[in-house]
RNA sequence: GGCCCGUUGGUCAAGCGGUUAAGACAUCGCCCUUUCACGGCGGAGACAUGGGUUCGAUUCCCGUACGGGUCACCA
């Protein structure tokens, strides 16, 4: 009875490893081309961090003429949620980070290195596990969870490192015959790596982002095949990234602690290890300390949040790029019209520690992006958002011709408006432009300086009867406003008023504010002339008559 | 607790032994021939801490404090 017999007993149907090595040949790519992957688990809603990872991976692949692929890590069947994979694929599509190779929503594969779901690669992992057992580099372990608990307890008592390693192991040195017999008897088991590591020795590792990190060698006999026959993350990662030809592993830095293990697995399996780039997580301020953006506590952790809020995709991605490479915003300033694809992303410029997620900044990015939209683009985006999330707004926007005029206010000039950061802001900022909404609501008029009712009525009446003419151009309109101010005892110019405030009741700005408020209810609005042009004579007359 | 990593203004961050220590967001003031937004100009605001090394340390080394990650048949 030897290792080979044991291996055959455990994995009788496994193929030779060479079969897979031939099936998945080395990728034929130009020098320097990077093969990068995004490897999510379908265990919950799509996290903004997943988008971040995808953005980085795709960028890297595209920039080097390489490949970006998605591999679904679904080896934990207990945690898998329904439609998990579909949600991930949809999010990648929505945010324009679609992979070159992936499993499709219908379960088929796109690409020659599949299957791209780990649950469908069981035979592959087992083939390699079998090889390790044959070589005496892995072994079946029969310890129960109670036994494992007991070992841990002893270790804690003895103040030694916890885990399954060295002298604490029970099954590592079990005679092959005994193991064989137990398996035949049907005892449950898992497969562990027989770690060749010695923690007194140090390994030097260079992470692309974090730089040099030294660790003690791994000596934990970690499990590689679970009792359900599926591999653990560690084992699957090493085999998949080898077979799929990954050249650089980008992943969250919660994985750095397993670098010694992963490197050891590559070594034991005889594979060349890829480069690693460990990215810092996005953080959230909580009290005095920071913590990772949490799926449970932070709504903004979910990709769906941005869709619901109506933050344009491009804004989300540009903000993420900004976190990835902070020089992006300078580049953006110098290249306002270029596609983000042209930005030269550099992994080495990524931060080593987690940045606080800054929603204010994201909205600023968004504001700038929306300010570059044409009225038509704003209309289309806002309308399609509204149809899903705000029926009242959608109702307003049904009148496309009119809405386009509303969207066009202060949008055609050199310095377009920048007051909209997300589509959910939209309704409030334009609702007064719609007669049926405005006139049928309880309008609270936010008058500022002039609050005397008679004075307001006089101003409005006077304006409507003696000055307003819808055919006026802006200059004429402007002058008339001054004329009205003067006639009513207000200064034509603000400066005049400031020079001699005692001579006037106020200045032209106060008068125009009354007109503004009487028409919109608001003291803060975009350009009044443009608003009046869009509103038209009928609406203006109606609105003013209500005041008088 | 063990093992790793980090610490520049409120936030994101340039910087890589000699700088008036960039820039962006936020904030404050002024200006932009009437509000708001935009834009322009300006202000306030930072190298965690103690030791070294050095002619000179934000930059290099060590300690301390603080923060983060990780120690599963989860990824």
Residues A128 and A273 in one domain: yes
Nucleotide nearest the Cα atom of A491 (by C1'): B34
Q: Distance, angstroms, CA A242 to C1' B1?
A: 36
Nucleotide nearest the Cα atom of A291 (by C1'): B68
Q: Distance, angstroms, CA A295 to C1' B7?
A: 26
pLDDT band at A448; cut points 50, 70, 90: confident
| pLDDT reading at A413 higher than 80 | no
- State in Å, rounded, how far the first CA of chain A is from the last one: 105
Residues A264 and A150 in one domain: yes
Q: Distance, angstroms, CA A293 to C1' B10?
A: 19
Nucleotide nearest the Cα atom of A230 (by C1'): B73
Q: Distance, angstroms, CA A51 to C1' B43?
A: 39
For residues A387 and A390, what is the distance between their CA atoms, to the nearest angstrom? 6
pLDDT at A380: 96
| pLDDT reading at A501 higher than 90 | no
pLDDT at A412: 80
Which residue lies nearest B36, CA-to-C1' measured? A524
Q: Distance, angstroms, CA A541 to C1' B69?
A: 66
Domain assignment present for residue A473? The answer is yes
Domain boundary among the residues A279, A312, A342 is at: A279
pLDDT band at A548; cut points 50, 70, 90: confident
pTM, entire model: 0.93
- Write the CATH number for A154: 3.40.50.620
pLDDT at A24: 97
pLDDT at A449: 81
Vertex A28, ends A23 and A30: CA angle to 5°? 160
Residues A127 and A205 in one domain: yes
Residues A421 and A476 in one domain: no
Q: Distance, angstroms, CA A256 to C1' B5?
A: 9
Q: Distance, angstroms, CA A418 to C1' B28?
A: 21
Q: Distance, angstroms, CA A44 to C1' B44?
A: 45
Residues A398 and A495 in one domain: no
For residues A36 and A57, what is the distance between their CA atoms, to the nearest angstrom? 5
For residues A303 and A282, what is the distance between their CA atoms, to the nearest angstrom? 14
Nucleotide nearest the Cα atom of A207 (by C1'): B5
Q: Distance, angstroms, CA A280 to C1' B62?
A: 27
| Pair of tokens at residue A509 | 């700005």
Q: Distance, angstroms, CA A28 to C1' B8?
A: 45
Nucleotide nearest the Cα atom of A512 (by C1'): B34
Provide the positions of strand B that have an atom within 7 A of a protein CB: 1-7, 11-14, 22-26, 33-39, 67-75
Nucleotide nearest the Cα atom of A352 (by C1'): B6
Which residue lies nearest B34, CA-to-C1' measured? A509
Q: Where are the beta strands (DSSP E) in A61-169?
A: 67-70, 102-103, 109-110, 138-141
| Pair of tokens at residue A392 | 């009242």
- Which structural domain range is residue A461 located in? 453-547
Residues A421 and A513 in one domain: no
pLDDT band at A383; cut points 50, 70, 90: very high
Nucleotide nearest the Cα atom of A478 (by C1'): B34
Nucleotide nearest the Cα atom of A509 (by C1'): B34
Region of A501 on the Ramachandran plot (φ > 0 left; ψ -120 to 50 alpha; else beta): alpha
ipTM of the complex: 0.94
Mean pLDDT, rounded, for A542-548: 86
Residue A203 near residue A215 (C-beta atoms within 8 A): yes
Q: Distance, angstroms, CA A375 to C1' B41?
A: 31
Nucleotide nearest the Cα atom of A226 (by C1'): B73
Domain assignment present for residue A92? The answer is no
pLDDT band at A297; cut points 50, 70, 90: confident
Average pLDDT over all residues of chain A: 93
Q: Distance, angstroms, CA A290 to C1' B66?
A: 12
Which residue lies nearest B13, CA-to-C1' measured? A326
| Count of helices and strands (H, E) across chain A | 23, 14
Domain assignment present for residue A98? The answer is no
pLDDT at A258: 96
Provide the β-strand partners of residue A193: A138
Domain assignment present for residue A27? The answer is no
Domain boundary among the residues A438, A462, A483 is at: A438
pLDDT at A237: 98
Residues A259 and A126 in one domain: yes
Residues A536 and A429 in one domain: no
Nucleotide nearest the Cα atom of A232 (by C1'): B73
pLDDT band at A439; cut points 50, 70, 90: confident
Mean pLDDT, rounded, for A5-29: 96
A14-23, A162-171, A460-469: range with lowest mean pLDDT:
A460-469
User: How many folded domains does chain A comprise?
Assistant: 3
Which residue lies nearest B74, CA-to-C1' measured? A76
Of A501, A502, A468, give the one whose Cα is nearest residue A484. A468
pLDDT at A169: 95
Residues A126 and A173 in one domain: yes
Provide the β-strand partners of residue A278: A251
Q: Distance, angstroms, CA A223 to C1' B47?
A: 46
Long-range contacts of A536-543 (CB under 8 A, 24+ apart): A536/A470, A537/A470, A539/A435, A540/A464, A540/A468, A540/A470, A541/A464, A542/A435, A542/A439, A543/A438, A543/A439, A543/A518, A543/A519
Residues A485 and A380 in one domain: no
Q: What is the pLDDT of residues A101-142, one digit of tens each?
A: 999 999 999 999 989 999 999 999 999 999 999 999 999 999
Which residue lies nearest B71, CA-to-C1' measured? A162
| pLDDT reading at A414 higher than 80 | no
For residues A86 and A249, what is the distance between their CA atoms, to the nearest angstrom? 23
Residues A411 and A465 in one domain: no
pLDDT at A287: 74
Domain boundary among the residues A254, A279, A304 is at: A279
Domain assignment present for residue A224? The answer is yes
Domain assignment present for residue A319? The answer is no
Residues A400 and A540 in one domain: no
- Write the CATH number for A485: 1.10.10.350
A238-242, A427-431, A498-502: range with lowest mean pLDDT:
A498-502
């Amino acid at each position: 009875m030897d290792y080979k017999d044991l291996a055959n007993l455990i994995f009788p149907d496994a193929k030779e490893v060479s079969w897979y090595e031939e099936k998945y040949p080395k990728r034929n790519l130009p020098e320097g081309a990077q093969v990068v992957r995004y490897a999510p688990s379908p265990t919950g809603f799509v996290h903004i961090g997943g988008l971040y990872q995808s953005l980085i991976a795709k960028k890297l692949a595209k920039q080097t003429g390489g490949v970006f692929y998605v591999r679904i890590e679904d080896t934990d069947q207990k945690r898998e949620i329904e439609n998990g994979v579909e949600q991930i694929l949809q999010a990648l599509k929505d945010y324009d980070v679609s992979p070159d190779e992936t499993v499709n929503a219908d379960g088929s594969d796109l690409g020659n290195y599949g299957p791209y779901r780990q649950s469908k690669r069981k035979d592959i992992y087992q083939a390699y596990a079998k090889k390790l057992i044959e070589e005496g580099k892995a072994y079946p372990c029969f310890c129960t969870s109670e036994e494992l608990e007991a070992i841990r307890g002893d270790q804690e008592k003895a103040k030694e490192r916890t885990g399954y390693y060295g002298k604490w192991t029970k099954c590592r040195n079990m005679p092959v015959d005994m193991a064989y017999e137990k398996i035949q008897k049907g005892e449950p088991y898992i497969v562990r790596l027989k770690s060749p590591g010695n923690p007194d020795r140090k390994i030097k590792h260079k992470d692309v982002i974090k730089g040099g990190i030294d660790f003690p060698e791994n000596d934990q006999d970690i499990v590689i095949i679970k009792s359900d026959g599926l591999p653990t993350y560690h084992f699957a990662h090493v085999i998949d990234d080898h077979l799929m030809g990954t050249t650089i592993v980008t992943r969250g830095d919660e994985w750095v602690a397993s670098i010694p293990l992963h490197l050891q697995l590559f070594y034991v399996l005889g594979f060349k290890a890829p480069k690693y780039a460990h990215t810092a997580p996005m953080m959230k301020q909580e009290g005095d300390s920071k913590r990772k953006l949490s799926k449970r506590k932070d709504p903004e952790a979910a990709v769906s949040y941005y869709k619901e809020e109506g933050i344009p995709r491009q804004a989300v991605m540009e903000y993420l790029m900004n976190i990835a490479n902070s020089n992006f915003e300078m580049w953006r300033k110098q290249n306002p019209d270029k596609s983000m694809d042209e930005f030269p992303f550099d992994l080495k410029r990524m931060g080593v520690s987690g940045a606080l997620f800054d929603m204010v900044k994201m909205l600023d990015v968004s504001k700038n992006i929306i300010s570059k939209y044409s009225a038509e683009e704003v209309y289309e985006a806002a309308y399609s958002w509204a149809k899903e999330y705000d029926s009242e707004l959608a109702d307003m926007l049904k009148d496309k011709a009119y809405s386009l005029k509303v969207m066009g206010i202060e949008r055609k000039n050199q310095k377009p408006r920048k007051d909209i950061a997300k589509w959910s802001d939209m309704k409030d900022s334009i609702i007064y432009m719609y007669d049926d909404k405005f006139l049928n609501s309880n309008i609270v008029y936010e008058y500022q300086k002039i609050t005397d009712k008679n004075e307001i009525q006089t101003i409005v009446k006077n304006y409507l009867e003696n000055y307003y003419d819808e055919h006026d151009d802006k200059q004429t309109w402007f002058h008339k406003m001054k004329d009205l101010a003067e006639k009513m005892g207000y200064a034509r110019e603000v400066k005049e008023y400031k020079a001699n405030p005692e001579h006037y009741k106020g200045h032209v700005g106060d008068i125009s504010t009354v007109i503004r408020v009487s028409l919109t209810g608001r003291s803060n609005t975009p350009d009044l002339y443009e608003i009046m042009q869009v509103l038209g004579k009928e609406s203006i007359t109606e609105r003013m008559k209500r005041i008088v």
